[in-house]
Structure formats: structure tokens, C-alpha cells
Structure 1
Amino acid sequence: MLSRKRAVRAIAVIVFLTVSSLISSLQPARAENGPDSIADLAEKLLDAVVNISTATNVGGSAITRNRGPERPKAPDGSPFEEFFEEFFDRQQNDSAKPRRVQSLGSGFVIDGSGIIVTNNHVIEGADEITINFANGDALTAELVGKDDKTDLAVLKVMPKKPLTFVSFGSSEAMRVGDWVMAIGNPFGLTSSVTVGIVSARNRDINSGPYDNFLQTDAAINKGNSGGPLFNRNGEVIGINTAIFSPSGGGSVGVGFAVPSDTALAVIEQLREFGETRRGWLGVRIQEVTEDLAEGLGLDKARGALVAGVTETGPAEVSGIKAGDVVTKFNGRAIATMKDLPRMVADTPVGKAVDIEVLRQGKPVTLSVTLGRLEEGEKIAEASGNAKDEAENAPGAEDTSVFLGMTLEELSDGLREQYKLDGSVRGLVITAVEEGSKAAEKGISEGEVVVEVGQQPVATRKDVAERLDALKSRNRKSALFLIASADGELRFVAIKTDE
């Protein structure tokens, strides 16, 4: 009897546990909450975040004096004539006096010896830079180096004792939804702490050639610029730089930070050289759109389309040509046009890398030794300012219309009429039909068709043959290489089907 009672009791316990487990499994999943408190973490980091105040001396000028409404003209000989003259002369003299303009931003210490990181726009043009610490100390800073392409700057102060500093973490390790904390000085309110998450990665906000911002909903306002964005370990994974604010400056939960992985290489170069030393390929590139991909014979839009190469630059020396599509750089795939400039810039000057391109649908691998971007920019600027002597090009006065473009073979008269650079070759576009496929692509009169289907054209017969060849291969669009009057090139895909 006793054993039977024990058996019944054991069965009851098993049933109870089973039912409890089943009920638990049917309960809705609870989302993981954020940190209960970040007070301890914030307390450790606050002393490393600084307020940066700048002062700029702005002198008066004739331009300044002439701003504002036109002075009224009193009738000659009236009793008010002398009064108006004296009043407005005094106003002009006041506006011509030098004045001092001040601004505020944030920054953070990365080395106890006094190295501070901030945004370039926080200190740009400043005559004086003052670092204000959380404990009330203030030190004058000198500029070590700055980079306007990533909007970063490195400053140096001379402290009497080592400063509290913070370390960088990996922005690449951050995932959308990870918790982050921003510390800064919005509107001059020092040591303000806000919390949010990583809202998105790799944001391009068209602020520079290397945009790949972290987006966060942690409150960032005016004055937060240059301040750190921390992960839950207290490591800097971003530098707060910009906000989207239709209201004109207040946070709406859309802020952007330079990723630490991007910033680190720039900061190291600024500390070592006082300037950046980026890799340089020497190409002008454009995005591969779906239309262009079809015209290039690609399976999908990918890579970076080479629109032109800099004369004597690394790309030209290695054999890269206009019309090539760069698909891999140093073993890394190029998904979009923006990937290539970032990869090249992060590669050491003088390093030899393999670049894979698609040339007329076939893969070609080339070895390129990178130059230095800063020197390449000077070469490109000099090349753009220099005008080659105009050379004669054979051609007739005949015209013909292709896809809405009236094309005329180049002559001295047309070169002079449209002020075409001497280096430009091809067929001049003398008219574009309104509403045509060419007009829809932004092609305009005075531009020049250089290539069709990645083959050079010099006569209207060349164009007709190229278009017929593309249609015979069932291509739905033709890839045109278009030159502006000064020789700037771009690719345009125009639909050929009716």
C-alpha cells in the first residue's frame, strides 16, 4: 500500500513538472532588457572626455561694411542729410572692427601624455584652442594634424600629470542593435551622457569620399561633435560627427559616428607625420548601375567602373583602362563603387597589390604599385589646369541621329564653337531631342561621344556599326563613353530597344 502511494505521488510530481514546462514554453519570449545602469561605466569614462572651446579672430573688411540694407538718401540740403551720413558712417566703422568668434565641441583623451582626438570641423580655422577638463582644469592645445576627408583632428596639450584616457575598440565587431553610450558637451552642457543602440552600419551621407558611418539613436546635439561613442566595455567604437535634424540642430535620434576602424589609421598617421599618407590608384570611377551592368555584359550591378585614368599614374602604368570594371582589390571583392576608394586609401603607399578587372566581359588580373594620394591630387589638379594644344581631327560635315542624339564628326570649327579641349576625340553632339533616351540620361549638346560599346568611334559609320553589333548580340542597352568639353569622361548606358 505504501509503495502504491509513493508511486502515485511520483507520477503526480512528474505530471506537474511536465505541465509547468509546457506552460513556460507557451509564454511569449521576453526581449533582453538594456543595462540596468551605466553609472559605474560612465563614471570611469567621464574624466577622459573634454570640452573644446575655440576662438577665431575675424577682421572687418569692405565686404563686411557693404552688407546690410542700402542707406537711405536724404534730399540734398535737407536737415537730415548730415544726420544720416554720420549715423551710417559710424555703423560701418563698427562692423569693420576685428571681432572674436567662439565655438564649442567635444573630444577625448587617447594618451595620458596629452593626445586628444576630435572632429576637424570643431577646430578648423581656430586661432586658439582650449581644452576644458571635467575637473575644471583648462589647457591650451596645439594642432598635431587634421584630415578633412574623414573630419578628424589630433590635438596635443602639456599636462602636469598623466591624464585619464580611453582606448579604442573594434567598430567592425558592432552589430545593429548593440547598446552604445555617447558622452559630450551638447550646447555647452559638459559631461552629458546619453544611451542608445547602433541603428545601422556603413551609412553614406555624402560628406566625404570614405563615408561608412555608424548610425545611432543615442541623443547627439550641437556640441557633441568630436566626442566618443562607447560600447558596453567602455571602448571607443565611433567618433560622433554629424546628425540629421530637420529642426535645425536638435536630436531626432539620427546621429552618425566615424567608425573606430576608419579613424585609427588616420589618427596614427596624423600623430606620426602630422598629415595623412593614403594609397593612390589614379582612376576616376563611377557607380555600376543596372543599366550600365547590362551594357557591360555583367550578371548584376557590382564593382567600380573606371571612367578615366590619370596620366602616368599607378593605374595607367599597370595597364588599367577606361571601361574596366574593378571587381577585386588585393583579394577583397568590390561590391559597390564606394568600396574601392576606402580600400585603396587604407593600403600603404608603395605597396604592390593585385587588382582584378573585367575587360569586355573577361577577367584580367593586374599588379599595381600604389602611389600617394596627396601627391596624386596635385598631379590631377595640374593636369586639369593645363590645356593641350588643339590638334586637327579628320571628319566631314555630315550629321546623323542616334538614339535622340545628333552626332557630327569633329572639325576645327566645331572644336572652336563648343570650346572643346584639344585632347577630346570622337563625335560632337550638336543636338539632343527633347524626351529622347539620351535626354533622359542627362546628355547635352556640346558633349562628345568617345566610345560606343567600349570601342572608340570617330565617324557616324563607326557608331552605326557598333550599335548594330550590340543589337545582333541581343544587348538591350549600349554603353557610351561621353566626354565633357574639358575632357572629363563618364559612362552612360542608353536603352537601344524600342
Structure 2
Amino acid sequence: MKKLLSLVLVSVLGGAIALGSYKTFFEKDIPVYITENKDTTPLVKTNYNSNLSALEQTDFTIAAEKTIHTVVHVKNVTMSTGNPTLADLMYGRMPTRKQLGTGSGVIISPDGYIITNNHVIEGSEQLSVTLNNNKTYNAEIIGTDAKTDIALLKINANEELPYTTFADSDSVKIGEWVLAVGNPFNLTSTVTAGIVSAKSRDLSGNNSQSFIQTDAAVNPGNSGGALVNTNGDLIGINTAISSQTGSYIGYSFAVPSNIAKKVVQDIMEFGNVQNGILGISGGILTSKTADDLNVRFTEGFYVSQVEDDSGAKNAGLKEGDIIKKIDNVKITKFSDLFGYLSTKSPKDVVNVTYTRDGNTKTVDVTLTKSNAYVLEQIGVLRNAKKEDLQKFKLSYGVKISDLDRNNERTLKQYYGINEGHIITKINNVKINTIEDVRAIVENRAVNEPLIIEIVNNKGEAERYRL
């Protein structure tokens, strides 16, 4: 028993000595941190709370309220040719079927004038317009311009209609907030918001367009709708989107209001568009062309040719001049030049700033009426001079000035058509001026072919079907 008690006492004593040694030599104090629950000042200060974002500062409701009732739904019924059956072929029939197309439009006057895209109403057999209050009216085509893709319609309502007013699209700035308003589904007008991404955009590749680019969502069916500023004033007609799928992916394009307004005014006054031209040809400068031409500028329009009897010729412009500005519009690319001149008429006077031999000069140029017309698949046609006609012993006709680049080889080698040949008739109608050509081409029936009579170098008249 005594041995057992001694053994327990020794064990307890040994444990106490071991525990004391661990505490002394190995265990350290663990610090305890106490935090106060109170607000702290951030290390980085921002002005986010003091200045609202641009989106919060912009009120879109006023523009939307002014615009939604001025935008309409356009319904276009066309007739298309179907695939003939064996019976159709046997009896010489060609089956047709109705095809429905839709788009949008913008009321621009209280008496029912409506602006839309040419491609929305092209080939129409029946045309109707539905207002935002669901009233539907038959529409009449007053006139169209395929080059700018603008068309003017008219409806007869028994009341004054809400309408949109034109703004100055030249004053629109990149980064400015805009609204795109359309009526694609014949429900009510829809509104999307975005900013102006760029100006003077050309999607064609042949320097024939000058669009406002925006990131406001625009989809098929919105063509012909309104692009408005935050005041609700019209700055463009929505026309196209950039997409491989047919759906909106971030870029949409509108015909500037200044161009659309000019087209509408000309259609109402003259029945067609009257374009004022400088009377020059050339190209835009780049680093490469500047080096090739040995000039120190990389921006501007290089004049390579000046037409006789043109405003540019009369004002003293010459080959080699570099146009830097027209009025207050800086010219950095061809669409800047094209877009601004598209708002001008013959006899308008513009101030041209250009450089010659390193010196900057300005001159007033009176614009003249275009004497050229682009005939698809053939090329550029111009009014023929007396000497042009006398060469072929003719008293009427227009001259082929430049062949279409895509068809030049075929026209020359296969058909024997060259620059300088004279077009005397189209669809058996004598041609005296390019206005005659324009009238026949633009007023012919849907799918009606063009039969062109051309006099060749031998003085022989040959006919071609386009």
C-alpha cells in the first residue's frame, strides 16, 4: 500500500514539473485584437456621390413622349414570282404570290406626310400605315430616292397628326445621347437609348453613303424609324444595322436628318432629288497616298480632275489641290464631303478651303447640277456634247463616261461596249439627257427589264437587255 501511494505521488510530482517546464519554455502569449465597430474614411476618395453619371443626369421621358406618337408602322404588300409547276409551264403561266414586308416611318407634318426608307416600300402593290393609336390608313408614295434610301409617303387623315421636327444633324456630336424609336411589330412604338458612336460612316465601300452610327438597339422592322436627340427632335432616319445574323449586335446606322430633309424638299418641289456638285474627282489622302503624291498632309480630299464648265473650274480649283474644309465642315474622308454636299442644291454657294503648293487658300464655289447618272451594270452616263454626237452622226443620246468597274472586262471584251459610246434609246424611248434616263429607270414597273440601245464605234446600233 505504501509503495502504491509513493508511486502515485511521484507521478503527480513529475507531471507538475513537466507542465511547468512547457509553460516556461514553449508556450507563448497569444495576443487578442479588439476592433471598434465604427465607420472609417476610405483611403481613395471619388466624386461619384457629388456628380451623377451622365445616364442619371439625362431624362429620356420628354423625348420619348414627343416622339412615340409620331412614329408609325408601315406595311408593304408586294407580288413575287413563285416556282412554276409543270402545268404552269405547259400553259405558259407564271404563278405569283403576295409577300408582306414591314417597317417604320416618321410623321413630319400635321397633314400626313411620312418619311421612311426606300427599301421599306420598294416594289409595293399595297401600302398601309398604322398610327400609334392603332388607326390604319392607305398610303400613297409621293417620291423616292434609292441613293439615300429615303421615301416620302402621304396619308389622308381626318385630323391633324402629331409630327416630329427636323434638327440640324451637322451639330450632332459623338458621344451625345440619342433615342431610336420604331414600330416594328404593329403594337405601339418602342424606344431604345444609346449614344452617337461615329459620324459620316460609309457602309457601301463606294463612297456613296454618310450615316450617323449609334449603339442604340435597332432591329429589322425598325427601318424608317426616328433617331432623335434628348429634346425629341429628328436627327436621323434609322436605316441599317451591322450584323452577320440579321439581328442587332451593337451598331446601327441612320441617314442624317439634313440629308433626309433635303431629299423630302426636293421630292415635294421637283419630283426628284436635285444634287449640287463641285465638279471634281479625286480621292482621300492617307499616309500611303500622301507619300505617293509627295504631300505632307494625310487628311483631305486630293483633286485629280476638274470638270469643264463646273463650279470648281469657274472658281479656279485645279488638279493637285487638297480640299481641307467646306464651309465649317472638316474634310477627313470622302463621306464627309459626300454627306455635306448631299444637303446642298444647284446654285448654292459653299466656301472651300484648300491647299496648293503648301499655301492655304479659300474660295467661294457655286454648285452646279449633276450631269452624271450611274446606270447599274453599265457605268457612269453624262450628257453628250455636240462633238460627242457628231462623231456618230447623231442628234440625241447620252455618253458612257466610265464603265462599271465590276463589269468593265465583260462589257469591253464580250459586248464590245466602251467609254464614249452613245446610248440613244432605253425601252424604245429616245434619250436626250440623263434626266430622261433617270425617269425611265426609276419609274419603270417592278421587275421590268431595261432594253438599251447603244451606238458603237462603227455607228451601228445594238441592243442589250439588263
TM-score greater than 0.5 by the shorter chain: yes
The answer to whether structure 1 residue 252 and structure 2 residue 249 are counterparts is yes
Alignment-mate amino acid for residue 292 of structure 1: T
1:387–1:422 contact (8 Å) kept in structure 2? no
Greater gyration radius: 2
1:118-148: per-residue Cα shift (whole Å, max 9, x none)?
A: 1111112223221111222111111222222
Match of 1:218 in 2: 216
1:187–1:221 contact (8 Å) kept in structure 2? no
Alignment-mate amino acid for residue 176 of structure 2: D
In the TM superposition, what is the alpha-carbon distance from 1:201 to its structure 2 partner? Answer: 3.0
Aligned partner of residue 306 in structure 1, secondary structure: strand
Match of 1:282 in 2: 279
Match of 2:53 in 1: 32
Aligned partner of residue 111 in structure 1, secondary structure: coil
Match of 2:237 in 1: 239
Match of 2:102 in 1: 104
In the TM superposition, what is the alpha-carbon distance from 1:190 to its structure 2 partner? Answer: 4.2
CA distance in 1, matches of 2:361, 2:194: 46
CA distance in 2, matches of 1:207, 1:52: 29
CA distance in 2, matches of 1:105, 1:177: 27
Distance change (3 Å), C-alpha of 1:29 and 1:93: farther
Aligned partner of residue 202 in structure 1, secondary structure: strand
1:1-24: per-residue Cα shift (whole Å, max 9, x none)?
A: xxxxxxxxxxxxxxxxxxx9x869
2:227–2:237 contact (8 Å) kept in structure 1? yes
Match of 1:228 in 2: 226
Distance change (3 Å), C-alpha of 1:270 and 1:98: same
1:149–1:208 contact (8 Å) kept in structure 2? no
In the TM superposition, what is the alpha-carbon distance from 1:203 to its structure 2 partner? Answer: 2.5
2:88–2:95 contact (8 Å) kept in structure 1? no
In the TM superposition, what is the alpha-carbon distance from 1:113 to its structure 2 partner? Answer: 0.7
Distance change (3 Å), C-alpha of 1:143 and 1:367: same
Match of 2:19 in 1: none
CA distance in 2, matches of 1:331, 1:293: 24
Distance change (3 Å), C-alpha of 1:95 and 1:187: farther
Match of 2:381 in 1: 381
Mapping for residues 208-357 of structure 1, pairs under 5 Å: 209=207, 211-247=209-245, 249-330=246-327, 333-353=330-350, 355-357=352-354
1:224-267: per-residue Cα shift (whole Å, max 9, x none)?
A: 000012222222222111001122x1111211112223322333
2:210–2:338 contact (8 Å) kept in structure 1? no
TM-score if structure 1 supplies the norm length?
0.60
1:296–1:360 contact (8 Å) kept in structure 2? no
CA distance in 2, matches of 1:37, 1:345: 33
Mapping for residues 152-163 of structure 1, pairs under 5 Å: 152-163=150-161
In the TM superposition, what is the alpha-carbon distance from 1:284 to its structure 2 partner? Answer: 2.1
Pairing partner for 1:52 from 67, 74, 81 = 74
In the TM superposition, what is the alpha-carbon distance from 1:343 to its structure 2 partner? Answer: 3.5
Alignment-mate amino acid for residue 251 of structure 1: Y
In the TM superposition, what is the alpha-carbon distance from 1:378 to its structure 2 partner? Answer: 8.1
1:184–1:224 contact (8 Å) kept in structure 2? yes
Match of 1:494 in 2: none
Aligned partner of residue 129 in structure 1, secondary structure: strand
Aligned partner of residue 34 in structure 1, secondary structure: helix
CA distance in 2, matches of 1:113, 1:175: 32
CA distance in 2, matches of 1:178, 1:331: 20
In the TM superposition, what is the alpha-carbon distance from 1:318 to its structure 2 partner? Answer: 4.7
Distance change (3 Å), C-alpha of 1:33 and 1:297: closer
Distance change (3 Å), C-alpha of 1:48 and 1:94: farther
Distance change (3 Å), C-alpha of 1:151 and 1:181: same
Pairing partner for 1:130 from 114, 118, 128 = 128
1:186–1:220 contact (8 Å) kept in structure 2? no
In the TM superposition, what is the alpha-carbon distance from 1:107 to its structure 2 partner? Answer: 0.5
Alignment size in residue pairs = 352
Aligned partner of residue 347 in structure 2, secondary structure: coil
RMSD (Å) for aligned C-alpha atoms: 3.9
Pairing partner for 2:169 from 160, 168, 171 = 171
CA distance in 1, matches of 2:91, 2:190: 42
1:182–1:228 contact (8 Å) kept in structure 2? yes
Match of 1:453 in 2: none
Q: Unaligned 5+ residue runs, structure 1? A: 1-19, 66-86, 391-415, 424-485, 487-498
Alignment-mate amino acid for residue 341 of structure 2: V
CA distance in 1, matches of 2:222, 2:202: 20
Distance change (3 Å), C-alpha of 1:136 and 1:377: same
1:442-497: per-residue Cα shift (whole Å, max 9, x none)?
A: xxxxxxxxxxxxxxxxxxxxxxxxxxxxxxxxxxxxxxxxxxxx9xxxxxxxxxxx
CA distance in 1, matches of 2:335, 2:270: 26
Identity of aligned residues (%): 33
Aligned partner of residue 334 in structure 2, secondary structure: coil
1:29-82: per-residue Cα shift (whole Å, max 9, x none)?
A: 35616359756653443221100011223457xxx64xxxxxxxxxxxxxxxxx
In the TM superposition, what is the alpha-carbon distance from 1:350 to its structure 2 partner? Answer: 1.8
Aligned partner of residue 270 in structure 1, secondary structure: helix
Alignment-mate amino acid for residue 64 of structure 2: A
Distance change (3 Å), C-alpha of 1:365 and 1:421: farther
Q: Unaligned 5+ residue runs, structure 2? A: 1-38, 393-412, 421-456, 458-466
CA distance in 2, matches of 1:328, 1:254: 28
